Amino acid sequence: MDPSQLLYAKTHEWAFVEDQDGGKVATVGISAFAIEALTDLVYLELPKVGSQTTAGQPFGEIESVKAVSDVYAPVTGEVIAVNEELPNKLESLNDDPYAGGWIAKIKITDESGLANLLDQPAYEKQCQEEG
Amino acid sequence: MTLAKTPLYDWHHAAGGRLVDFGGWSMPVQYTSIIDEHNATRTAVGMFDVSHMARFRFDGAGAGDFLDKLLTRKASVVPMGKIRYSLVCNDEGGILDDVLIYNLGEGDNQYFWLVVNAGNRQKIAAWIEQHLPSEGVVFTDHTLETAMIAVQGPKAIAAVQPLCDVPISDLKYYSGALGTLCGEPALISRTGYTGEDGVEVTVPAAAAIAIWDQILNAAQPLGGLPCGLGARDTLRLEAAMPLYGHELSESIDPITAGLTFGVSFDHDFIGKDRLEAARDAAPPMVRVGFRCADRRVPREHCTVHIGDQQVGEVTSGTFSPTLNQPIAMGYVDPAIAVSGTAVEIDIRGKRVAAEVAPLPFYSRPRT
């Protein structure tokens, strides 16, 4: 995944949206900025295949030594696949959260929320402001 | 509220430390990785800025008697150069703070030194003022004019000794001596909050950064790292050391908290009658450890269950880098305070399997 081609939620999740079977499917994960801020990852809870997501609502959780954080769904839809291997190789998220680091693929059922996602320049500006 | 800054604040900031509010102080929670900093302390050297801890001094002929009344430990019989863990209790026996009391100096220059938790500095200072006799005791707060650095780990002494004129190897655990460190007057004590060997050094605030740099220069070739409060928490939790605000509070007494070793009943002190009653009664709950098989981490306030009965509550939890599994401490009904007892811990609405585990989780190899 090329980070410049991704959309980002203000809550630090990324989404790669592509056309598939006449609809849209988003591959989603957690941004490099968030992974670096969390560090020391110990646990990731994946959503269940078939579960419904709502943009801006929690759909998983990620835990570091210090604290647990919700992972928020960047899009509204249905989970059609999850990256089963990821919880067993969380260290790979530090190297590249965009390639093997995807969490789930979500078949988008309501595209209205996509407009709330940021492009890379806007997201990087937000990250700089958060320090 | 403006956060207080230790004399090492500029160093933390320049080193990229992630600064957080802790007890009213802006402190580094980590510089790089909590796990790396933790492991450096277990295997080599970890350096911690603990200047946020409050440092009080008591001079005068009445200081020993006054501290005897204030502390659960009898300060007046602490031998010269020795340090004791103690509690400060209120009239109801609730813990106002856990502290270290030092007997320092010699002859006419003898004095007592008290190290108090950062977040309790104002509360304890006010408690002291409230009980201070009108004469015979001079109480002074030296927190802001000094810095305190903990150097911990199996190679900590090797890092500090070349810089210091106190023969550290001759200092027994929980002993302290006044001397010179990097050419500055220093208090060197064989104490810490990590479960490792090491020292805590107290130095003039103006010299803090220079001394920190010199110790770090000595520690880094040995595998040492500067460490933040994140690693300090994982290290103390593995060593089962209680933390005020988590295992300890005004609503719990030292006996129930499992700290009877920090209470001597051979003197009068504030809260003594309540502590005697607690000692002679069946404990309402017991402080225990928990180990989890899963990787979800129990945190403070998670409830502990057997079947549909709640049997306890977690006071601190983390992921143990040494054991590579989640660990926690908390209080449970005495009936289940038996190592190996299977329980469930409710973590954000989902229960995970855990078992009651003996404390500490980690003991350093004795040489």
Q: Which domains does chain B have, with CATH numbers?
A: 9-51+144-238 (3.30.1360.120), 55-130 (3.30.70.1400), 282-357 (2.40.30.110)
Write the ipTM: 0.88
Q: Has residue A62 been placed in a domain?
A: yes
Any chain B CB within 8 A of the CB of A68? yes
Which structural domain, as residue segments, surrounds residue A15?
3-112
**φ, ψ at B325 (rounded to 5°):** -155, 160
Q: Which of B32, B234, B296 is nearest residue A65 as measured by Cβ atoms?
A: B234
Q: At what angle do helices B229-238 and B34-43 cross, to 10 degrees?
A: 60
pLDDT on residue B279: 97
Any chain A CB within 8 A of the CB of B297? yes
Measured at the CA of A33, the angle between CA A27 and CA A39, to 5 degrees, comes to 105
Any chain B CB within 8 A of the CB of A43? yes
- For residue B326, list chain A residues with Cβ-Cβ distance below 8 A: 42
Dist CA B190 CA B295 (whole Å): 35
Any chain B CB within 8 A of the CB of A94? no
When pLDDT is averaged across residues B104-121 and rounded to a whole number, the result is 95
Q: Where residue A24 sits, what CATH number does that domain have? A: 2.40.50.100
Q: Which of A35, A38, A42 best tests the B interface by mutation, with the highest count of B CBs <10 A?
A: A42
Q: Which of A45, A61, A65 is nearest residue B319 as measured by Cβ atoms?
A: A65
Domain count, chain A: 1
- Reported as a single tens digit per residue, the pLDDT across B299-327 is 999 999 999 999 999 999 999 999 999 99
E strand residue ranges, B10-156: 18-22, 25-30, 46-49, 54-59, 83-89, 95-104, 111-116, 138-141, 146-152
Q: Has residue A122 been placed in a domain?
A: no
**Binding residue ranges of B:** 200
- Reported as a single tens digit per residue, the pLDDT across B217-271 is 999 999 999 999 999 999 999 999 999 999 999 999 999 999 999 999 999 999 9
Tens digit of pLDDT at every position of chain A (131 positions)? 889 999 999 999 999 999 998 999 999 999 999 999 998 999 999 999 999 999 999 999 999 999 999 999 999 999 999 999 999 999 889 888 998 899 999 999 999 889 999 999 999 999 999 87
Report whether pLDDT(B367) > 70.
no
